[in-house]
């Protein structure tokens, strides 16, 4: 196997895992929003924000690709390819799980709002914590990019 293939596998995993996590996360929160609208349709704006929040991890995976694409050259070394593969796996896995867990947290907030509780702000604050780890992983991709000279 050529080193460039190994690097592209890392990029592919990063994009796929972060996208899958976001798809699951927004679906969890979206399903809760549909149920909550039956009880409290006036809070649709709050439901929309909380349902969209887990979608950011998919964007981080896409941004990771743009950060690393400069190193994807046919003459890439095995060290740089391993760095790209590791960066892709790290961001992909963290984004996958943080988006799913964030979606579950947002779904609980949506259910609370639907039941008449004023928990939008508190849910938004708590939903930042899973997001933080995806941001840290994206920052690590940025640092790895600097180490491999992309």
Q: What is 129-145 written as a DSSP string?
A: HHHHHHHHHHHHHHHHH
Q: List Cβ neighbours of 31 (8 Å cut-off, separation of 6 or more).
A: 107
Reported pTM: 0.93
Place of tokens 């690590």: 140
Contact 93, 14 (CB under 8 A): no
Distance CA 1, CA 149 (A): 22
The string of pLDDT tens digits covering residues 6-58 is 999 999 999 999 999 999 999 999 999 999 999 999 999 999 999 999 999 99
54 is written with which tokens? 């887990």
**C-alpha distance from residue 22 to each of 44, 63, 77, 93, 145 (Å):** 20, 14, 32, 12, 24
- From residue 32, alpha-carbon distances to 39, 56, 81, 124 in Å are 11, 18, 41, 15
Among positive and negative, which fits the CA dihedral 93, 131, 139, 5? positive
At residue 149, does pLDDT exceed 90? no
Give me the pLDDT at residue 3, please: 95
Q: Structure tokens of 145?
A: 């990019």
């Amino acid at each position: 196997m050529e080193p460039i293939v190994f690097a592209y596998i890392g990029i592919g995993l990063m994009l796929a895992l972060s996208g899958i996590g976001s798809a699951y996360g927004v679906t969890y929160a979206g399903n809760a929003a549909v149920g909550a609208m039956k009880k409290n349709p006036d809070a649709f704006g709050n439901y929309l924000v909380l349902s969209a929040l887990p979608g950011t991890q998919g964007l981080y995976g896409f941004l990771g690709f743009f950060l690393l694409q400069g190193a994807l050259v046919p003459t890439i070394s095995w060290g740089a390819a391993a760095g790209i593969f590791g960066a892709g796996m790290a961001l992909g896995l963290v984004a996958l799980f943080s988006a799913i867990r964030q979606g579950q947290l947002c779904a609980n907030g949506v259910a609370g709002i639907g039941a008449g509780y004023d928990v939008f702000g508190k849910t938004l604050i708590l939903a930042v914590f899973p997001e933080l780890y995806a941001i840290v992983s994206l920052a690590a991709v940025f640092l790895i990019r600097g180490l491999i000279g992309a």
